């Protein structure tokens, strides 16, 4: 359980046995080969999951690295649906593992931002993810941000449509 771990467990370096997997990942990142880096991060995460379990800081940190790389890759591949789903999953797992809030909130904000892209590009997937994303937004530290983000997602829950979502003031004819 995470409550039995030392407070600095989230910042601890990986055991040396994982150095080759980490090196493979960082080589691909340095070369700008993000899809390959995502695959390398997935391989590292799988190995850590097998050895330490899905909620161990090593595993959750590798998952978070994979989420970040998936986001970088999506900027080139436009695989926004998969990226949003992965960011939501990463946020859920970080919360279950009681990971540090700062990075969890960053992951959640990225999930919301990518979800927002989906509302116009892939409304069906946006509707599917809305029910998973909405309860996570309650963890955002600023009340105004929580209200704004939840207000954008809530209309999409339970089969809402893209037409049901509130539009920005500029779309209402205001100047």
Domain, as residue range, for 34:
2-161
Q: Tell me the average pLDDT of the chain.
A: 90
Provide φ and ψ at 97, rounded to 5°.
Answer: -85, 0
pLDDT band at 162 (very low <50, low <70, confident <90, very high): low
What the block records as the tokens of 146 is: 């929580």
Residue at 35 is within a domain: yes
Is residue 29 within a helix (H) or strand (E), and if so which, with residue range?
A: helix 19-30
Domain with residue 137: its CATH number is: 1.25.40
Residue at 173 is within a domain: no
**Helix axis angle, 123-136 relative to 101-121, nearest 10°?**
160
What the block records as the tokens of 150 is: 């939840």
pTM summary value: 0.86
Q: What is the pLDDT of residue 168?
A: 44
Q: Is the pLDDT of residue 7 over 90?
A: no
Domains in the chain: how many in total? 1
| Mean pLDDT for the stretch of residues 136-146 | 94
Q: Is the pLDDT of residue 167 over 50?
A: no
Check if the beta carbon of residue 141 is closer than 8 Å to that of residue 105. Answer: yes
Check if the beta carbon of residue 41 is closer than 8 Å to that of residue 25. Answer: yes
Residue at 166 is within a domain: no
Span of 87-96, 115-124, 135-144, 157-166 with lowest mean pLDDT = 157-166
Q: Is the pLDDT of residue 117 over 70?
A: yes
| Mean pLDDT for the stretch of residues 117-124 | 96
Span of 28-42, 105-119, 153-167 with lowest mean pLDDT = 153-167
Q: What is the pLDDT of residue 164?
A: 52
Reported as a single tens digit per residue, the pLDDT across 20-73 is 999 999 999 999 999 999 999 999 999 999 999 999 999 999 999 999 999 999
Residue at 139 is within a domain: yes
Q: What is the pLDDT of residue 158?
A: 78
Residue at 75 is within a domain: yes
Q: What is the pLDDT of residue 3?
A: 47
Residue at 36 is within a domain: yes
Check if the beta carbon of residue 111 is closer than 8 Å to that of residue 133. Answer: yes
Please state, in angstroms and rounded to a whole number, the distance separating the CA atoms of residues 15 and 156: 43
């Amino acid at each position: 359980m995470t409550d039995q771990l030392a407070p600095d467990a989230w910042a601890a370096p990986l055991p040396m046995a994982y150095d080759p997997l980490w090196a493979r990942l960082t080589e691909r990142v340095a070369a700008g080969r993000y899809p390959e880096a995502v695959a390398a991060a997935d391989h590292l995460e799988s190995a850590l999951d097998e050895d330490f379990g899905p909620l161990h800081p090593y595993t959750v940190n590798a998952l978070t690295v994979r989420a970040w790389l998936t986001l970088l890759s999506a900027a080139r591949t436009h695989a926004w649906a998969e990226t949003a789903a992965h960011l939501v999953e990463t946020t859920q797992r970080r919360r279950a593992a009681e990971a540090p809030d700062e990075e969890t909130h960053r992951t959640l904000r990225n999930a919301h931002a990518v979800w927002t892209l989906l509302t116009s590009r892939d409304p069906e997937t946006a509707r599917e993810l809305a029910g998973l994303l909405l309860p996570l937004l309650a963890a955002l530290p600023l009340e105004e941000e929580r209200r704004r983000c939840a207000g954008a997602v809530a209309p999409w829950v339970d089969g809402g449509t893209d037409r049901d979502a509130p539009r920005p003031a500029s779309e209402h004819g205001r100047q």
